[in-house]
Amino acid sequence: MKLFAEKILLSTGWHSNQTLTIEDGVITDIASGSVAGAEVAQGPVIPGMVNCHSHAFQRAFAGFSEQGSEGQDSFWTWRNIMYKFLDQLSEQDVQVIAEQLYIEMLTAGYTRVAEFHYLHHNVQGECKNDAAMAKAIFSAAQNSGIGLTLLPVFYQFSGFGAKPPTDGQKRFIHATEDFNQLVEQCFTLSKTYPNTNVGIAPHSLRAVDEQGLHAVVNFVRQLDRKAPIHIHIAEQQQEVNDCLAHYGQRPVQWLHNHVELDKHWCLIHATHINEQERQAIAKTQAVAGICPTTEANLGDGIFPTTEFLQDQGVIAIGSDSHISVNPIEELRWLEYSQRLIRQQRAVLANNEQASVGLNLWTKAALGGAQSTSANVGELAVGKQADLLVLDNTKTALFAKEDKFVIDSLVFASQSNHVQDVMVNGQWQVINQQHPLAKQSAQKFSQLIARLSA
């Protein structure tokens, strides 16, 4: 197919009047001018956003954990509510939730998601070795049309020092060999689902030990040298304290000293890091996966984004707990948290790129692509056609110059400005409508009614 755009953000910046040729999901040519028979984009075209961190099932209880108890609530009390909730979910339930979530993601402008998937076993906590939960996620991605990077989570313990898992964690736990077997099954499954790939996610340093970590990393590296490896690393101060008490080192410090970090690693919530740790991550080019709205919602803390970008670090954004499913809100919070700390404006821009919005959209899309080892993140010949068409009637209300388009989108849009969404060369959302939205919402609301009964 051919797509003509009056305004398009290519890897080289904004351009006017360009026609993309898209074959088998890939952009094979970009030429100036229009061509007879080309579809016409009804607004500015920009690259789709990658969501680097999702726990799909958590979408089902977004909004269920906002009732306070006189300042006693924290990440850890939230986690108890989450465990109680997930205890009831069958694989069919997980598919219903993930499908609803992925449709919401697409409609908001995410074209690919890295699913940090740790609900492996059935409701009884039995391991059936049939990858049923992973299949539920693959099917949800296929039905919705979003690109998927599935990251089966390796979870051994409830805390540092090989603390035995709690009852609430019974559905996550694997012995190393069983986990590697699941990973192998997921690699095989991925071949039958288009636009998917597989990596792993050792859950955190509190949930895996050194031996287990090396075993799963070595195993996945034999299957695929570029497989993404994601880990929760320093989300909470308590986690840093526990790591110091157990290993005598801070989490990122320990990880950097014990594994070979590289650009295929993604450190999720590297929130509590010191200067040396920050520079170490940037130097290895591992991605810092930041989830601004979840980190705010859970009271985690603020990642030092300003300094990390000055160190030439690579960033990506994730919606994590799905308290918000909106890349625009994530990027807005990313910048605003830095403004509030520093009492300055336009913090996450630089001499090469004065537009905060454009700088963040570009960096997060490219970093997201890196974090998923996917051929996406920018519009150029040879890249997968994952793109968004913005609503012309809405962008027309903002400043006309191209350099303001993404700033207006990120900082001044009150409603959804994403009109059409293409993934892998196929339209998945047209006129803000996903074809399965209605039927998915119906199944999802029935599920929520059952779970909260």
Q: Strands 2-10 and 426-429: what pairing? A: unpaired
Nearer to Zn ion, 45 or 290 (CB): 290
Nearer to Zn ion, 320 or 391 (CB): 320
- Please tell me the distance from the alpha carbon of residue 395 to that of residue 45, in angstroms, as a whole number: 11
- Please tell me the distance from the alpha carbon of residue 347 to that of residue 335, in angstroms, as a whole number: 7
Reference 406, options 365, 368, 376, 371; nearest CA is 365
Nearer to Zn ion, 99 or 320 (CB): 320
- Please tell me the distance from the alpha carbon of residue 272 to that of residue 296, in angstroms, as a whole number: 14
Nearer to Zn ion, 205 or 356 (CB): 205
**Minimum CB distance to Zn ion, residue 291 (Å):** 7
Q: What is the DSSP string of 74-98?
A: -HHHHHHHHHHHHTT--HHHHHHHH
Q: What is the DSSP string of 113-151?
A: EEEEE---S-TT----SS-HHHHHHHHHHHHHT-EEEEE
**Minimum CB distance to Zn ion, residue 268 (Å):** 6
Question: How many residues of this chain bind Zn ion (CB under 5 A)?
Answer: 1
Nearer to Zn ion, 93 or 320 (CB): 320
Catalytic amino acids? 269, 320
Q: Which phi and psi angles does 26 have, rounded to 5°?
A: -115, 145
**Minimum CB distance to Zn ion, residue 118 (Å):** 9
Chain positions 196 to 215 lying near Zn ion, rule: CB under 5 A, are: none
Structure tokens at 284: 């290895």
Could you tell me the maximum CA-CA distance found in the chain, to the nearest angstrom? 68
In the stretch 289-328, what mask flags binding to Zn ion with x, by CB under 5 A? -------------------------------x--------
**Minimum CB distance to Zn ion, residue 269 (Å):** 7
**Minimum CB distance to Zn ion, residue 39 (Å):** 38
In this structure, how many other beta carbons lie within 10 angstroms of the beta carbon of residue 115? 27
In the complex, the residues that contact Zn ion under the rule CB under 5 A are 320
